[in-house]
Structure 1
């Protein structure tokens, strides 16, 4: 891999403030128009998010960082020719997944990198997030959720994260997971929910609440 070009992004809270309340398509439009502060906001906001995402594909943290840097360098160089974007996170997830999978496929004989199996999805590493609803899950219920999630396939874990935690639509999930039809994403989600209900014995509404709470507090 070529040496990583250092991207210098200096963003104070004051500089970030104008973008926090803007719709994502407007932030993206300003970035495409050459506004360096818009680029800085996107970079500093999504670098850590992409890092956590990239760690699902490989344990090689240098590769994860290098691939993110490469993506942002590409975006900076090609910004004028990029299309409109309504969801920056979805656009970056899709672009990053394509980029890192392409690299891992080219280097398929590096066993330490091949934590990802394209036929089955990838293991979800639930990250801890601060939340005020942690008391809703007692130790017994948390253990039940841990056990239930351990029974899911990698693809089922992947779609649960995309839908409940990331908030992606079925259309976006279809693109991210490479389904030919949106119905396939809906079928996988339905089977995943049924499997969790079998393990937890909860109604669909209660199960949704439990899953969201569990993911937020992991």
Structure 2
């Protein structure tokens, strides 16, 4: 069976909800997509985040996406669109920042003290949120962000399937984002 046929089979199995097939598809396509994306955006962490979000969208929308005749091309085209969308959003943010008057960025000593206090509070909220995560999520978050291990390394160390590691990290980050959002809402 050719690589193209193998990717089609993996995608068809993924559409039927087989996580193992999706993990194999991720493993087969991710390195090439990463190299491709890195030529456009030379920030490995950002590229990793963008690709992980893209793969999550593929998983969540697998039924709606339907049959793909050229899986590799579809994933590369989707990556390209994701990169272009990110670049457009970044340029829009940069242009808005440039349009802001500098007077808004003048800080007094009081502002600096308040900012430091808010940073300490946010750090405390984050540490509390991390400690409240389920054990598996806490473990993979620690390995991913504090020990800087990639998903394959975490999978090998923990014995958890590759896709499960990706899912655990994603869910944990979502919980942490929500916790930070809620703490900002209650602080306001």
Higher helix content, 1 or 2 = 2
- Which of these two proteins has the greater Rg computed from alpha carbons? 2
